[in-house]
Amino acid sequence: MRRALLHALVALAALPAAAQLPGPGSGGVEPEKSYASPKHFAFEAKFGPYKPSIDDEFPSGQTGPYSRYFGGSGLMSQFEFDYQLFQKFGSIGVGLGLGYFTKSGKSFPCLPGTGAACEPDFSTKSGDSTSINVLPLALLAIYRFDVLALRYRVPVVPYVKGGLTYSFWWINKGNGKVASVTGADGTKDNGRNGQFGLTVTGGVALMLDAFDTGAGRELDGALGINHTYIFWEWNWSGADGFGAKSALRIGDSNWLAGLAFEF
């Protein structure tokens, strides 16, 4: 009896404090902020078609080297990690991006008599394989307009990104080694290099936890993930040495779709 009376007194003493807490409909703390863990970072995984712009410098109607050897688009896989600096009216952050693209094709035999220079015979394919690989890195400034999603539960979040990119590229022979080309003067060039350039992205994200706030709270409590998004974006990457004539143009204008987490 004494223990039950003590529990009842403790419960009664807690009532005034509980009455001062803002409820879901009060004008105090927003429902989301009353339970959300701190939010500082974002992570994205995204995928889309990619075709390096190597052939753009060739006249229209002429088949460029990329199309001859590798054909059309391949899959670009990208990952991005962001740090959010400002979260008052939307969020402003900086990010690091890393991607990978590879595409294989068949090479061409050398024309008879061309020797070490090896003028390719484009009339027939050889049995040897070749592949092109691109590894783009990006340093980004990011703005996400998430005001409507956080304040009014409108789950659409548009965003823009822009920054500097550096894309490593290399071409492998069938044996996995980096290809090399010997010119008519006997000099040898390795089939690998890298290009600086600018990159711009615009996209829209759909906040999934806005459709199930209960599941969102559980995910935040268990893993510290504040929000989960699916998104679609358009990206332009000008990895062309800032327009240098001698640079290999390996950027592209393409779309990507993926999944993002804020935590």
- List the domain boundaries for the chain: 43-262
Checking if the pLDDT of 135 tops 80, the result is yes
Q: How is residue 197 written in tokens?
A: 């350039």
User: Band of the pLDDT at 8, cuts 50, 70, 90?
Assistant: very low
pTM over 0.75: yes
Q: What is the pLDDT of residue 16?
A: 37
Predicted local confidence at residue 210, as pLDDT: 84
Q: In this predicted model, what pLDDT tens digit does every residue of 28-72 receive, in sequence order? A: 334 445 457 888 999 999 999 999 998 888 777 678 888 888 988
pLDDT at position 3 is: 41
Q: Tell me: the pLDDT tens digits for 191-241?
A: 888 999 999 999 999 999 888 887 778 888 888 889 999 999 999 999 888
User: Hey, what amino acid is at 183?
Assistant: G
Query: What are the residues whose beta carbons fall under 8 Å from the beta carbon of 113, sequence distance 6 or more?
Result: none
Average pLDDT, the chain: 81
- What letter would DSSP give residue 109? P
What Rg, from alpha-carbon coordinates, does the chain have?
A: 27
Fold of 43-262: Porin (2.40.160)
Predicted confidence (pLDDT) at residue 89 exceeds the cutoff of 50: yes
Q: Label residue 24 by pLDDT band (50, 70, 90).
A: very low
Query: What is the distance between the alpha carbons of residues 228 and 45, in angstroms, rounded to a whole number?
Result: 12
Segment 94-112, tens digit of pLDDT: 999 999 999 998 877 777 7
Q: Which residues contact 42 (CB under 8 A, 6 or more apart)?
A: 80, 81, 82, 84, 93, 95, 260, 261, 262, 263
